[in-house]
Amino acid sequence: MSQPPRLKRRAEFLAVAGKGAKAPMPGLVLQFMPRDDDAPFRVGFTVTKKVGNAVVRNRTKRRLREAVRLALNPETERGFDMVVIGRDKTAARPFPDLIEDVRRGLARARRNATPAAQPVPPPAAAGGVEPEVARP
């Protein structure tokens, strides 16, 4: 399995953070934003300085990259961008749990990004008076 295409520019990360759904998991935070195309998903990785020094942050990003590579197939997963944010627990989390965090986080973020179809109430009647609704 090959590495998925990457988000590299700051503007791409900010677009996903601003418009996307967020799914916090024990080992990571996943941000998800659907796109209007059928291209393979793109992914970006970030780890803040709060997690540790450069060695720890790079190790954390390597673990996240491998977890995403194993959890998701770029050939079948299409039409979205996601950002994976490492946490301080990412480095010590067992690797199978980290892979499962990616899978569950993506499923949760997809649910949050596509709100359930809810009936829209009709607009208020003319004259500012709302029609009475029969209540059981």
Structural domain spans, the chain: 10-113
pLDDT band at 118 (very low <50, low <70, confident <90, very high): very low
Query: pTM for the full model?
Result: 0.77
pLDDT at 132: 61
Mean of the per-residue pLDDT values of the chain: 83
Q: Is the pLDDT of residue 81 over 60?
A: yes
pLDDT at 74: 72
Q: Is the pLDDT of residue 38 over 90?
A: no
The predicted model gives 48-72 an average pLDDT of 93
Q: Which two tokens stand for residue 53?
A: 């020094």
Burial 84-117 (b: 16+ CB within 10 A, else e): bbbbebbbebeeeebbbbbbebbebbeeebeeee
Sheet of 80-86, strand order: 21-24, 28-34, 80-86, 42-47
Q: What is the pLDDT of residues 16-37, one digit of tens each?
A: 988 888 999 999 999 999 988 8
Q: What percent of the chain has pLDDT over 70?
A: 82
Q: Is the pLDDT of residue 65 over 70?
A: yes
CATH topology of domain 10-113: Ribosomal Protein S5; domain 2 (3.30.230)
